[in-house]
Amino acid sequence: MNHKVVGILGGGQLGRMLAASASLLNVPVVILDVGASAPAKQILAPTAPHLGHIDGSFTDPIKIRELAAKADVLTVEIEHIDVDVLDEVAKEVEVHPAPSTIRTIQDKCRQKVHLQSHALPIAPFLDIPEPTIHGIKDAAGRLGLPLMLKSKTLAYDGRGNFVLRDLSHVQDALEFLSGRPLYAEKWVPFVKEIAVMVVRTPRGQTCSYPVVETIHKENICHLVFAPLRSRDPQLAARAQEIAERTVQSLGGAGVFGVEMFLLADGQILVNEIAPRPHNSGHYTIEACETSQYENHLRAILSLPIGSTALKVPSAAMLNLLGSSNDMSELVGFAEFALGVPGASVHLYGKTGCRKGRKMGHITITANSDAELRARLRPLLQRLPSADP
Ligand code: ATP
Ligand code: MG
Ligand code: MG
C-alpha cells in the first residue's frame, strides 16, 4: 500500500506502539535511539539490511542526518530533539509535525506565548528572564501564591515543575530548578484534568478523539477514563473545539495531545500540547475504531484518517509505574491483570526499572461504567505502590 519509510526519533514506548501499528500496515520503520534494545526496536526487524535501526541519540545531528538519509518521512515520539537539524533535513524528507511546531512546543514558555497569540484560553503566565530570588519574588508578586514555577525546556512527568507555596521557599525552588530557564504560571484550582487527542492531516484538517479525564499522582499520569462523564452536555464538544483550534494553530501532520484544566465554573484552560502520540491516548488501541498510533501514521503518510469514535461504552487506562528497581512485582501484577475480563496488558520491554518510570500500562474496556469500575477495582487494590 505504501512504500515510504518512516524514521522515528526516539525508541521508547510511544515509538514501540507506533512501530506495532506500522507492522500491521506493512510500513517500514527505522528507529533512532541509544542501544540495540530500545523498546521500539524490539517490535519489528527492519525490512531490508540498509534500513537497520540506528544506535545513537535523537539529539545528535549526525545521527539525525543518518536517519533522514534512510527515511522518506520523519516523525518524533519525543519533542526534546534537535530542531535545527530537523529544519535542515526537511529540505530532503518530509518531517511531521513541522519542525517549527516542535520548536514552539519544546519551550513551554514560547508555547504559552503561541497559545496566547491565537486567543486560546490559558492561565496567566510570566517569563522569568533572570532565574533569581528577585525574579521569582517579582513573578509571585504579580501572579500570587501558590505559584507554579516551570522549566521552559526538557520537562516531562512534572520534573521541571516546582510549586511555590510560600516566599520562604524561593531558595529551595532555585536549588530544585537550578540552572534551568524558568517561567511562572498562575496556580489553576482545577476540578479535573482532561485531554483530547487531535489528528491533523498534512492539509491542516483536524478531527478529535473523545475527551478523557486524566488523573495524575505526583505529576505523573496514573489513570485515564474514557469518555469524560459530565452533567454539562456541552462540555465535551467545547473541549474538543478548543483542542482542535489549538492544533489548527500549529503546522504539520500527526496526532497531538492537548492537556487541559476544567475549572469549577466550567471554564476550560489549555495546559500544554504534546506534538505526538500521548499517554492519555493509549486507551485508543483497544477502545477506539482506529488507535492514535495508526492515525498518526495515516496522517504523516497522507493516507485516509480512520474513525476516532469509541467502539466500547466505557474504558480506562492504568499506567504501570516502577515501584522500585525491581520489575518482578510489576510482572506479577501484569499476570494477575491477565485474569481480569476486558483488561489488555502492555509491557514496554524496558531494561531498567526505577521508581516512577513508565514500564507498561493496562487498558480496561467494559459495557458500562459500573462494569468498568468492577473490573478496575481489583487492579487498583493490587497495584504495587511506589510509596515507601
Ligand atoms: P508531561 O509529562 O505531561 O509532559 P510536564 O512535566 O510537562 O508533564 P505539566 O503538564 O506542565 O508538566 O504539569 C504537570 C502537572 O502539574 C499537571 O498535569 C497538573 O496536574 C499540574 N499543573 C501544571 N500546571 C499547573 C498550574 N498552572 N496550576 C496548577 N497545577 C498545575
Ligand atoms: Mg509536558
Ligand atoms: Mg503535562
| Ligand 1 atom closest to the CA of 214, numbered from 1 | 18
Q: How confident is the model at residue 44 (pLDDT cuts 50, 70, 90)?
A: confident
Q: Which three cell numbers stand for residue 174?
A: 532555585
Read off the pLDDT of residues 354-377 as tens digits, 9 standing for 90 and up: 999 999 999 999 999 999 999 999
The answer to whether the CB of 148 is under 6 A from ligand 1 is yes
Read off the pLDDT of residues 188-210 as tens digits, 9 standing for 90 and up: 999 999 999 999 999 999 999 99
User: Locate cell 519574588: which residue?
Assistant: 137
**Which pLDDT value is given to residue 386?**
63
The answer for 342, left when phi > 0, alpha when psi is -120 to 50, beta otherwise, is: left
Ligand showing the shortest atom-to-Cα distance for residue 279: 1
CA distances to 222, 228, 375 from 369, in Å: 18, 11, 10
The answer to whether the CB of 153 is under 6 A from ligand 1 is no
Mutate to test the pocket of ligand 1, among 152, 153, 219, 358 (most ligand atoms within 8 A of CB): 219
DSSP code of residue 279: G
**Which pLDDT value is given to residue 3?**
78
DSSP code of residue 107: S
Establish whether the linkage from the previous residue to 227 is cis, with ω within 30° of 0: yes
CA distances to 112, 243, 276, 360 from 282, in Å: 26, 18, 12, 10
* Integer Rg of the chain from CA: 21
Residue nearest to atom 30 of ligand 1 (CA): 188
Inform me whether the pLDDT recorded for 316 exceeds 60: yes
Q: How confident is the model at residue 233 (pLDDT cuts 50, 70, 90)?
A: very high
Read off the pLDDT of residues 129-178 as tens digits, 9 standing for 90 and up: 999 999 999 999 999 999 999 999 999 998 999 999 999 999 999 999 99
Q: Which of 253, 210, 252, 209 is nearest to 229 (CA)?
A: 210
Q: Which amino acid is at 292?
A: Q
Q: How confident is the model at residue 276 (pLDDT cuts 50, 70, 90)?
A: very high
Q: Please give the model's pTM, rounded to 2 decimal places.
A: 0.97
Backbone CA torsion sign across 180, 183, 186, 192: negative
The answer to whether the CB of 371 is under 6 A from ligand 1 is no
User: Locate cell 498518526: which residue?
Assistant: 296
| Ligand 1 atom closest to the CA of 159, numbered from 1 | 6
Q: How confident is the model at residue 2 (pLDDT cuts 50, 70, 90)?
A: low
Mutate to test the pocket of ligand 1, among 148, 180, 193, 224 (most ligand atoms within 8 A of CB): 148
